[in-house]
Amino acid sequence: MPAAPAANFIRNIIEADLAAGAYAGRRWSGRPGTAAQQQAGAPDPAKIRTRFPPEPNGYLHYGHAKSICLNFGLARDFGGVCHMRFDDTNPTREEQEYVDGILEAVQWLGFGWEAFGASHQYFASDYFPWLYEFAEKLIEAGDAYVDSQSADEMRARRGTLTQVGEDSPYRGRSVAENLDLFRRMKAGEFADGAHVLRLKIDMQSPNINLRDPVAYRIRHAHHHRTGDAWCIYPMYDYTHGVSDALENVTHSICTLEFEDHRPLYDWLNERLAALGLLNTPLPRQYEFSRLNLSYVVLSKRKLIQLVDEGHVAGWDDPRLPTLVGARRRGFTAEGFRLFAERIGVSKSDSWIDMSVLEDCMREHLNEAAERRVAVLDPLKLVITNFPEGAVETCHAPNHPLHPELGKRDMPFTRELGSSARTSRRCRRRAFTACIRATRCGYATASSSPAPAVRRMRPAT
């Protein structure tokens, strides 16, 4: 019987929520949607809903494996479902190739998004009409405005970690003017960077993420799914939390760098729920420490640079810490799952030695891999007193720990292959590099009438 998953703070939170019935009253229409749509649906069959939301601007790396195992594993263990969602809000960096590669990597790790008779693969771009509608509602409620400052001007007024920000000179625009400008932004009347839509929160906040963050920007670019239908695109922070709520996500689990973004996540969803646009109870965000491997680069930005500048052969180069590269390196999905379980989940940043990952791979391969023999850089050996054309069949176990896997035949003939490197090491000892044939019934003494072969002794 497999061992029970190790306890961690996120599991404790989920267990407490289920015990308290925190999400027992939710309803689900069978697909993502607004509050009205979800309330018209049946009771949600999933006890919890998590999600894995990569941006399709590169291939997944080792760090993503930890997040995948966590999010999909929690949904599996608690009778829920994990949504496979692409946060595709940046058309200039995203490609269908990355979407396909990510889906393949998740499935290779042993997880899927089919549950309760339906597929739960989603795209944030499918929510663009709702996100735009919600933005207009926020403008009408006085919670958003169009800012016409340049990027440098906004940066200068934003303040620093020790200095509060300053209000934009356009913060006081009327609702009518903001709506008119925002609709004209959508219609494509303005060039990139001419205007942005900002959430009206608090420029004096000690949390820099709450200083009127940008919700929409103008970007005349072709999107890999929506084509040229849009020329304004929502920002990640605006899209992420709303997408979670549209999908009825209960536990939004992300890494610690998003901890300072949680107040914005809550502020936005609570405002939209108060306007009757999002289903309740709302999702809650929880953060865990990201994977830090010693001497391994796990920054997607730096990995993209290595690929784009031609320092590696591609995303599947075995030297890269990507999952497609790991497959070519001989790493296994079971090894990654064992690694994720072994390192656990916490809120404390820590460094994991690469040897821990390699040990997990060796442990799984030692248990699962059948044994085979191969000679690299072979040196041809001819046993002169072995009959030409004769073949003696030796037998070797397929797995020394699993006799039920049977044995394999290994032919012994007049001509053999030995490692040239090993032969060179032994040459100074004047031993002939050869393969011991006693397993096939031959004596090892050179004076024996049997073929004159000896066990190769290691160099000293």
300 catalytically annotated = yes
The enclosing H or E element of 65 equals helix 62-77
290 catalytically annotated = yes
CB 284 within 8 A of CB 252: yes
Give the Cα-Cα-Cα angle 254, 154, 190 (nearest 5 degrees): 95
Burial class (CB in 10 A: 0-12, 13-18, 19+), 62: buried
Per DSSP (E only), the strands in 29-80 are 42-43, 49-52
290, 342, 414, 454: the catalytic one is 290
| Terminal-to-terminal C-alpha distance of the chain | 47
What's the rounded Cα separation, in Å, for the pair 285 and 241? 9
What's the rounded Cα separation, in Å, for the pair 40 and 251? 22
27, 55, 166, 341: the catalytic one is 55
Chain-centroid distance, C-alpha 270: 28
Burial class (CB in 10 A: 0-12, 13-18, 19+), 146: buried
Chain-centroid distance, C-alpha 96: 16
Q: Which residue has the tokens 């400008």?
A: 181
Burial class (CB in 10 A: 0-12, 13-18, 19+), 131: buried
CB 180 within 8 A of CB 140: no
Token pair recorded at residue 274: 């108060």
55 catalytically annotated = yes
In this structure, how many other beta carbons lie within 10 angstroms of the beta carbon of residue 122? Answer: 21
User: Which residues are known to be catalytic?
Assistant: 55, 290, 300
